[in-house]
Structure 1
């Protein structure tokens, strides 16, 4: 394990650096990313790999696991192995032609379309919240689903919202997203949540939940136990995903098709279907590039002026 930890540190000279420098270099990589690097490298080392390694060894590692691991997992392992070499000043065998050709061949032989969580479209969201009561759990879940959809929020962003992140304005709410998956430096961004034109209004749903739960500070989305006691802490990301799956199932949808990402994907797809310009969708979702967003845009626009509509 010591070899794994040393290989994934930001610098091979870590022990000689001043404490303050060590702290900042460690902060450059998130804890989750650091754990992923170590787990991936652990697998490589336990198989018989080493750091430094040769291109031939890495190519053989890939070929041995080509049928056992997904292509996405193999690609992530290469990133971790690459980081282990560059962070310690070793030549990087991952960039070799041999490794690139091996991965290209694996993709051609074993490649499959990446499975994505289904998008919860606006009609699905309305179906999910239909019949919700005024008990605390229903009020919380209604607000969580509608705010998550309207804000195109990741589950990590949704659970992290605090009362201090919300500002009431005449047109609805401004929510400060302090940190997200693509904003590790914590620059933050603001999103607007307008009043809805139907009973599925995210602003009113959130106000109803906060009033009932008497939440004036701290996390806005919290666990509720079987006795109806509302916790002081925030929901976990897993709990957010569980709520979405459970409510999807209750609405007659297949819960295995949905995840914590489904609300975010649903807003992007539904907005594209409604003809909202790409730049406006991008402003709400926070996508930095068009590459990922374009998948949702294509899905949403697939039936707009479809050539088969002449039938």
Structure 2
């Protein structure tokens, strides 16, 4: 029966195929094994690249920890995981400083996945103990007045939006920036969303635009977002998109305004197109346009997403409608965090209690 086991990836798979052969016969066992291989390939294919990168970086952190502490890399018991958490908060970064608790939490989760993928048993109770240690040490840091990490991204607000739009020059780059900011705000974009758009993914509609976002990480974030025309033409995303596309067709080679060209293109200081924008160049552009306008706190690649949630909520929009537009799950904890009340006074729960 050894031919049945050819291609099996490990001992567990060997045992499984052997049981199938005994129960259903060799041919059926072969087909079931092939189905398992297909399932493995699909699972690998649907993992987003940034998730894979997170797992790889987390595992390298675990390797640095186990090497520094003289611990085996293939053990994930209670003591090792709790010690790992404490080490990360104390000195885990490559420069010798501690991680922010949110980063340590992400790394811990990824390391547990990595251990299990390598056949290491990680008990649920041991993982929970490490989580409790992380929570307790985080409280200790706060009590000592130490806050780590960048915190939540600064969200766009209406006043700053007008300032930024008015600071965009009457150039191809300026019109691209205006369209990037205004469309991104209205569908709550992540930096990778406009970077992944082709021109054909943004379709004009009698009432506005339909933006087909295909680069999302979840079934919620892959969506068709509808953007209505705004009453004020100065901040209308539809008008900004139309003006940018007209200018692009006028100032550049025809291939850059073709349906299969990138929706947002990089432009050098001389006005020449350099290719499609990447997530990093989108983030740099958002930061640059806010700095150019003199916004007090520079925007980041996530500011448009945060701004959409908080501005829409302030306007009384329904949380479900916000979630669907921005590609959040309808009960997303991160969405509720983004629907922030920045000064703590508006919509405060203490208002008019008696």
Match runs of 1:92-111 below 5 Å:
92-93=122-123, 95-96=125-126, 97-111=128-142
- Residue of structure 2 in register with 1:252 after alignment: 294
The answer as to whether partners of 2:221 and 2:326 remain within 8 angstroms in 1 is: no
The answer to whether structure 1 residue 38 and structure 2 residue 56 are counterparts is yes
Pairwise CA distance, 1:95: 4.1
The answer as to whether partners of 2:154 and 2:297 remain within 8 angstroms in 1 is: no
Match runs of 1:1-311 below 5 Å:
20=38, 22-48=40-66, 49=71, 50-67=73-90, 68-93=98-123, 95-96=125-126, 97-111=128-142, 112=147, 115-183=151-219, 188-198=222-232, 199-214=234-249, 215-217=257-259, 218-231=261-274, 233-256=275-298, 258-288=299-329, 289-299=331-341, 302-304=345-347
In 2 relative to 1, CA 172–28 (structure 1 residues): closer, same or farther, beyond 3 Å? closer
Higher relative contact order (CA 8 A, sep 6+): 1
1:17-68 deviations in Å (ceiling 9; x for gaps): 8675553232132222222212211221232241133221221222233222
In 2 relative to 1, CA 213–66 (structure 1 residues): closer, same or farther, beyond 3 Å? same
What is the TM-score with the length of structure 2 in the denominator?
Answer: 0.75
What is the TM-score with the length of structure 1 in the denominator?
Answer: 0.84
- Residue of structure 2 in register with 1:6 after alignment: none
The answer as to whether partners of 1:222 and 1:234 remain within 8 angstroms in 2 is: yes
The separation in 2 between residues aligned to 1:15 and 1:46, in whole angstroms, is 31
The separation in 2 between residues aligned to 1:179 and 1:71, in whole angstroms, is 28
Secondary structure, aligned partner of 1:299: coil
In 2 relative to 1, CA 298–140 (structure 1 residues): closer, same or farther, beyond 3 Å? closer
The separation in 2 between residues aligned to 1:239 and 1:14, in whole angstroms, is 46
In 2 relative to 1, CA 28–88 (structure 1 residues): closer, same or farther, beyond 3 Å? farther
Pairwise CA distance, 1:202: 0.7
Which has the higher mean CA deviation after the structures are superposed, 63-72 or 13-22? 13-22
The answer as to whether partners of 1:245 and 1:255 remain within 8 angstroms in 2 is: no
Pairwise CA distance, 1:113: 7.8
In 2 relative to 1, CA 182–22 (structure 1 residues): closer, same or farther, beyond 3 Å? closer
In 2 relative to 1, CA 57–188 (structure 1 residues): closer, same or farther, beyond 3 Å? closer
The separation in 2 between residues aligned to 1:69 and 1:304, in whole angstroms, is 34
Secondary structure, aligned partner of 1:295: helix
Pairwise CA distance, 1:89: 3.6
RMSD: 2.9
* Runs of 4+ residues over 3 Å off in structure 1: 11-23, 111-114, 304-309
Structure 1: unaligned runs, 5 residues or longer: 1-10
Pairwise CA distance, 1:205: 0.8
Pairwise CA distance, 1:213: 1.0
The answer as to whether partners of 1:119 and 1:266 remain within 8 angstroms in 2 is: yes
Secondary structure, aligned partner of 1:65: helix
